[in-house]
Amino acid sequence: MPSSRDTLAQRLGLRADSAVLLVALTHSSYAAEHGCTSNERLEFLGDAVVDLAIADLIVTEYPALDEGSGSLVRSRVVNEEALAEAATRLDLARYLRVGRGEIKSRGLQRPSMLADAFEAVVAAIYLELGYDAARVFVCEILGADVAIAARDPDEVDPKTRLRQWAEASGLGTPTYSVSASGPAHATTFEAVVTVNGEARGVGHGRSKKSAESEAARAAWEGRGDA
């Protein structure tokens, strides 16, 4: 069951009894079971607000980035994995209202559900407090990610880099096995990446993708040890 929204509402600068916040935290599976409004329309709006806020930040704070580099930075920050990580940092899974089927299938672990919830929450801030407040919130949560991406916009993500190396070395395509532990709202994932039949890296994270990325990074850094 979702816990009290007071802490989250305070973190977002919203009232705990905000009707918009309640909708933002309502997955379509719960809405279908209880005949209420889901967060799908808010997710649609929040997607645009997040995109604008990050583009605004890049243009304002990183004048050295041209259009192409800025687009690469934005794509590395505004994507399902990154937004799911942002939702995890906010512990949004604890507050989401989801249907019984999603609970049984551990849907709260899915990056897509978490990313959508983050965008819906941003939309709630936008509707309640305006764009400036939404921009400040988005930049507070994702600003550090933008700064990292801006250092090297062309950097290849760890999984792609490992795959390119393994295939070029005649070792085939890396494979990943992932296990989960912990409660549904605070699940930790462990990923093991195997290259040419040998386990080459282990990673941990709050989403499957982040765990796989960490495993790929570990394998890449240790590729000369085998």
From 102, 116, 119, 128, the catalytic residue: 119
Please write the tens of the pLDDT for every residue from 186-195: 678 899 999 9
CA distance 145 to 78: 10
Query: Both tokens of residue 61?
Result: 């704070």
From 43, 47, 128, 145, the catalytic residue: 47
119 is catalytic: yes
160-184 mean pLDDT: 87
Percent of the chain with pLDDT over 90: 60
Q: How far apart are the first and last CA of the chain?
A: 47
C-alpha 190: how far from chain center: 17
Please write the tens of the pLDDT for every residue from 89-100: 898 989 999 998
- Given a cut of 90, is residue 207 above it in pLDDT? no
- pTM (predicted TM-score): 0.74
Query: Both tokens of residue 43?
Result: 């997710």
Average pLDDT of the residues of the chain: 89
Q: List, in order of start, the domains of the chain with CATH numbers.
A: 6-151 (1.10.1520.10), 158-221 (3.30.160.20)
116 is catalytic: no
CA distance 164 to 146: 25
Q: What is the pLDDT of residue 223?
A: 84
